[in-house]
Amino acid sequence: MNFNLKIWRQKNSSTPGKFVDYSVKDIAEDTSFLEMLDILNEELIAKNEEPVAFDHDCREGICGMCSLHISGEPHGPKRKVTACQLFMRSFKDGESITVEPWRAEPFPVIKDCIVDRSAFDRIIQAGGFVSASTGSAPDGNAIPIPKKDADLAMDAASCIGCGACVAACKNSSAMLFVAAKVSHLAHLPQGKVERKERVLNMVAQMDKEGFGSCSNTYACEAECPKGISVAHIGFLNKEYLKASLS
């Protein structure tokens, strides 16, 4: 399979960037998107040209590092997968593909398609810790948890912090990310002690980082590689309101 690539190249956040055209040939349909970029970079290096910088780590859809905006969609056209799990069979032979970084002010470009997502780290840090006894791990059945709560907590905990929700939102909102982190702990006994301080501090840090308000278009849920529901945003709003009034 052959592809025409239009890739965003930018030296750093203070330097203007631009799209540069490349072409790759004879790509197997079972090649992942990141492997295809590896092949391109090998060709560029062989020609003494600067390779394309892009973020990656596990390449198993777990770490959330592969933050690529592919042909207008975070992580590409396939639903509920990260860019590293996207295979070239999802595209047509000879197709033109646009590759660019997340477009959000709180995610400044580091180089090419790599952005600084440390804003997410600061939001999580603002949430603080959970109260838990030290020592050996408690028995898994020591604290009964209703299945509904356990399921909601596990669904929220599947968030990998990739930032696709921010990239998909026209307001660059981080509501789904924050909601997932708040909902995960608020539904579990270990997270209930600091639940009021946690939601207030995390929302305050989210606003401080410059993320926009929720657009209510559900684009975040549609593009989330883990399929996290916007229902968690409703839960976040309820938690925030209760904490603000208490």
Domains and CATH numbers, the chain: 3-110 (3.10.20.30), 117-245 (1.10.1060.10)
Distance CA 211, CA 161 (A): 14
Residue 235 is predicted with a pLDDT of 96
Range in 44-58, 128-142, 192-206 the model is least confident about? 128-142
Torsion sign across C-alpha atoms 49, 52, 58, 60: negative
Q: Please write the tens of the pLDDT for every residue from 94-115.
A: 999 999 999 999 999 999 999 9
Given 3-state DSSP classes, what are the helix, strand and coil percentages for the chain, each rounded to the nearest 5?
40, 15, 50
Q: Model's pTM, two decimal places?
A: 0.93
Distance CA 127, CA 216 (A): 24
Structure tokens at 222: 């549609």
**DSSP SS3 for 41:** helix
Q: Is the pLDDT of residue 136 over 90?
A: no
Which residues are bridge partners to 24 per DSSP? 3
Higher pLDDT, 212 or 135: 212
Q: Please write the tens of the pLDDT for every residue from 184-218.
A: 999 998 898 999 999 999 999 999 999 999 999 99
Average pLDDT score over the chain: 95
Give Cβ neighbours of residue 112 (< 8 Å, ≥ 6 apart).
7, 8, 9, 10, 17, 52, 53, 54, 101
Distance CA 219, CA 210 (A): 19
Distance CA 156, CA 65 (A): 18
Cα-based distances in Å from 137 to 133, 146, 147, 201: 9, 20, 21, 28
Residue 56 is predicted with a pLDDT of 95
Report residue 144's pLDDT band, with 50, 70 and 90 as the boundaries: confident
Higher pLDDT, 246 or 128: 128
Q: Please write the tens of the pLDDT for every residue from 67-84.
A: 999 999 999 999 999 999
Higher pLDDT, 144 or 111: 111
Helices (H), the chain: 33-46, 118-126, 147-157, 164-168, 175-186, 195-209, 219-223, 231-245
Residue 78 is predicted with a pLDDT of 95
